[in-house]
Amino acid sequence: MTISNFVHELGFGTRSVHAGRRPDPTTGAVLAPIYQVTTFAQEAPGEHKGYAYSRTANPTVVALEERLADLEGGVGALAYGSGIAAVDAILRLCDAGDHVAIGETVYGGTIRLARDVLARHGVRASFVDLGDPGALERSFGERTRLVLSESPANPTLKVVDLAAVSRIAHAGGALHVVDNTFCTPYLQRPFDFGADAVVHSTTKYLDGHNATVGGAVVVRDDVALLERLRWLRNATGAIQSPFEAWLTLQGVKTLPLRLDRQCANAQRVAEFLAKRKDVARVLYPGLPDFSGRALVQRQQRRAGAVVSFEPRGGRDAAVAFLRALRLFTVAENLGSVESIATHPATMTHASVPPDERARRGITEGLVRLSVGVEDPEDLLADLSQALTVSCRREVAV
Ligand SMILES: *Cc1c(COP(=O)(O)O)cnc(C)c1O
């Protein structure tokens, strides 16, 4: 019996290491080799060992897909060259004239893709407050094919009742797809709440080392949907490379270890910021006054490792704070072992028009922290000194 045959009965930590793993049959190598190859020999035309061409399928990529499908509890997974390519694959399930309802607070690139690319191909998107069931129902039309949600959402961490959204989507004949990038299957299992498919930017927590850009889709049980997506991925050439898949496989092994540490650190950071007089507001699902706290406790194992906050003094204070950081790197990306700080208004959400940013709560002073695995005392010391510097700037002005 291979490891992958009995792995379903095992715990999450064990499956993070073992799902999809089989020692290499020719050498016994313990890790799946990087099959850095374009094509595969055929005995006779069309007669091969399941692999024909690496744009269609590649054994290293399949090893990652098996692990991700196992961890989410789906029937199968497909890996893509980026998270946004995975979102694109989902949106391409729509034909011209179809409509998708997208949560109004989602990753900025998802908004840009729907609005500036897919719209030109005749797919209509509306951005809906998924916390308002009536608004979601009203957005539905005859041609609504999909509801795409994100919870907690980027960067305000607004949470969505996934089961409620699944019910409305299914009643309207649409699929419910959840972008589970912020939680990963360790913290949240959208299939338990009726979702039909899950999207990931594996770039974030699944890799966890700032080493790759990649994405994935996991399908709950609809094999025809999985095969349609597989066909589309081959037709559009969106597959992940073997090397990215291999690195991501290494990252996934420590996912629960990293996330436990990162969530504990994030809780400390959020509580620290909430006590500071020079901080105007803190958004973190682990704080008792977080709106949607009860839902978080129902839906997630832990509160996650992204903390957004606003120093007093708006944009200038935020910029001064970011400049003063020493241990946190100011960069795009989140989810990695290294702590990162981002200014959504000029970085991740720059492509969203300012008035719409404001409507989504993405103020000019908002800072997003992706808390890593460093020693918490060092993180707090860095935040403290940077806040003090940003405060002094205000006094000096
Ligand atoms: C980063 C991100 C994406 C896009 O992923 P890339 O790998 O950067 O293409 C999609 N959704 C969410 C929630 C993200 O954070």
Per-residue pLDDT tens digits for 283-332: 999 999 999 999 999 999 999 999 999 999 999 999 999 999 999 999 99
Instruction: Check if 372 has its Cβ closer than 6 Å to any atom of ligand 1.
Output: no
Q: What angle in degrees, to the nearest 10, is found between the helix axes of 376-396 and 314-324?
A: 130
Displacement of CA 224 from its chain's centroid (Å): 24
Q: Which of 104, 149, 154, 360 to mutate to test the pocket of ligand 1 (most atoms within 8 A of CB)?
A: 154
- In the residue annotation, 107 being an active-site residue is answered as yes
- Is the sign of the CA dihedral 374, 261, 200, 101 positive or negative? negative
Closest CA to 305 of 352, 257, 342, 267: 267
Instruction: Check if 215 has its Cβ closer than 6 Å to any atom of ligand 1.
Output: yes
Closest residue CA from atom 6 of ligand 1: 83
- In the residue annotation, 158 being an active-site residue is answered as no
Coil/strand/helix, residue 208? coil
Which atom of ligand 1 is found nearest the CA of 84? 9
Q: What angle in degrees, to the nearest 10, is found between the helix axes of 242-253 and 255-275?
A: 70
- In the residue annotation, 355 being an active-site residue is answered as no
What is the helix (H) or strand (E) element at residue 283, kind and residue range? strand 279-283
Closest residue CA from atom 1 of ligand 1: 201
Task: Give the pLDDT confidence of 340-369 residue by residue, as tens digits.
Answer: 999 999 998 888 888 888 888 889 999 999
- Among the ranges given (207-216, 248-257, 388-397), the one the predictor scored with the smallest mean pLDDT: 388-397
Q: How far apart are CA 18 and CA 38, in angstroms?
A: 26
Instruction: Check if 84 has its Cβ closer than 6 Å to any atom of ligand 1.
Output: yes
Q: How far apart are CA 376 and CA 176, in angstroms?
A: 37
- Asked, as a colleague might, if the bond just before 344 is cis with ω within 30 of 0, I would say no
Which atom of ligand 1 is found nearest the CA of 85? 9
Distance 180 CA to ligand 1 centre (A): 10
Contacts of 52 (CB under 8 A, 6+ apart): 39, 40, 42
HSE-CB of 11 using CA atoms within 13 angstroms: 3
Alpha helices in 277-375 (DSSP H): 293-299, 314-324, 354-359
Q: Cα-Cα-Cα-Cα dihedral of 260, 262, 263, 266, to 10°?
A: 160
- In the residue annotation, 277 being an active-site residue is answered as no
Distance 88 CA to ligand 1 centre (A): 11
Distance 112 CA to ligand 1 centre (A): 12
What does the pLDDT average to over 122-146?
A: 95
Which atom of ligand 1 is found nearest the CA of 203? 7
Q: Which of 51, 55, 129, 167 is catalytic?
A: 55
Q: pTM for the whole thing? A: 0.94
Residue extent(s) of CATH 3.40.640.10 domains in the chain: 3-253
- Fold for 255-396, please state it: Aspartate Aminotransferase, domain 1 (3.90.1150)
Amino acid at 214: G
Which atom of ligand 1 is found nearest the CA of 150? 13
Q: Which of 84, 87, 334, 342 to mutate to test the pocket of ligand 1 (most atoms within 8 A of CB)?
A: 84
Place of tokens 């919870």: 151
Instruction: Check if 181 has its Cβ closer than 6 Å to any atom of ligand 1.
Output: yes
Is a pLDDT exceeding 80 seen at residue 373? Answer: yes
Just give the CATH number of 3-253: 3.40.640.10
Contact 81, 94 (CB under 8 A): no
Contact 165, 172 (CB under 8 A): no
Give me the pLDDT at residue 2, please. Answer: 44
What does the pLDDT average to over 240-249?
A: 98
Give me the pLDDT at residue 6, please. Answer: 54
Give me the pLDDT at residue 187, please. Answer: 98
Q: How far apart are CA 327 and CA 137, in angstroms?
A: 45
Is a pLDDT exceeding 50 seen at residue 75? Answer: yes
- Among the ranges given (19-28, 302-311, 333-342), the one the predictor scored with the smallest mean pLDDT: 19-28
Instruction: Check if 88 has its Cβ closer than 6 Å to any atom of ligand 1.
Output: no
Percent of the chain with pLDDT over 90: 87
First to last CA, the chain: 70
Which atom of ligand 1 is found nearest the CA of 87? 10
Amino acid at 213: V
Mean of per-residue pLDDT scores for the chain: 94
Which atom of ligand 1 is found nearest the CA of 335? 15
Task: Give the pLDDT confidence of 137-188 residue by residue, as tens digits.
Answer: 999 999 999 999 999 998 899 999 999 999 999 999 999 999 999 999 999 9
Give me the pLDDT at residue 209, please. Answer: 97
Percent of the chain with pLDDT over 70: 97
What does the pLDDT average to over 79-103?
A: 98
Q: Which residue has the higher pLDDT, 54 or 350?
A: 54
What does the pLDDT average to over 5-18?
A: 82
Q: Which residues of 331-368 are buried (b: 16+ CB within 10 A; e: fewer)?
A: eebbbbbbbbbbbbbebbbeebeeeebeebbbbbbbbb
Give me the pLDDT at residue 394, please. Answer: 53
Q: Which of 21, 70, 80, 107 is catalytic?
A: 107
Q: Which of 179, 196, 207, 382 is catalytic?
A: 179
Residue extent(s) of CATH 3.90.1150.10 domains in the chain: 255-396
